[in-house]
Amino acid sequence: MQGMGKKVVIVGAGPVGLRLAALLKKEGVPATILESSSRPGGQMSALYPAKAMEDPSEFAGLSAKEAVERLAHEAEGQEILYGTKAISFDEEGDGYSLALSSGARLHADYLVMAIGKGTYRPRKLGLEGEGWAKNILYMVKDPALFRGKTVVILGGGNAAIDWAHDLSSIASCVVLSHRRNEFRGDIHRLDGTGISILTPYVPVEIELEGKEVRALRLKEAEGVGERTIRGIDYLLVFYGILSENPNFPLPAPRSIDFQGYLHDRLQETARNLFVVGDCSLKDREEKRLLPGFREAALVASEIKKRLS
Domain boundary among 202, 218, 239: 239
Is there a single domain that holds both residue 247 and residue 288?
yes
Residue 255: is its pLDDT beyond 80? no
Q: Does residue 228 sit in helix, strand or coil?
A: strand
Which of the four pLDDT bands, split at 50, 70 and 90, describes residue 3? very low
Domain boundary among 214, 239, 264: 239
Residues of the domain holding 192: 124-239
Residue 247: is its pLDDT beyond 80? no
On whether residue 157 sits in a domain, the answer given is yes
CB neighbour list of residue 252: distance below 8 Å, 6 or more residues apart: 258, 259, 260, 261, 262, 281
- pLDDT, residue 2, reads 40
On whether residue 3 sits in a domain, the answer given is no
Q: Give the Cα separation of 204 and 51 in Å (integer).
A: 29
Residue 300: is its pLDDT beyond 90? yes
Geometric angle at alpha carbon 103, from 98 and 106, rounded to 5° = 30
On whether residue 2 sits in a domain, the answer given is no
Is there a single domain that holds both residue 96 and residue 185?
no
Q: Does residue 116 sit in helix, strand or coil?
A: coil
Q: Give the Cα separation of 125 and 154 in Å (integer).
A: 9
Q: Give the Cα separation of 239 and 178 in Å (integer).
A: 10
CATH code: domain of residue 139 = 3.50.50.60
Residue 48: is its pLDDT beyond 90? no
For residue 115, give the H/E element and its range: none
Is there a single domain that holds both residue 109 and residue 13?
yes
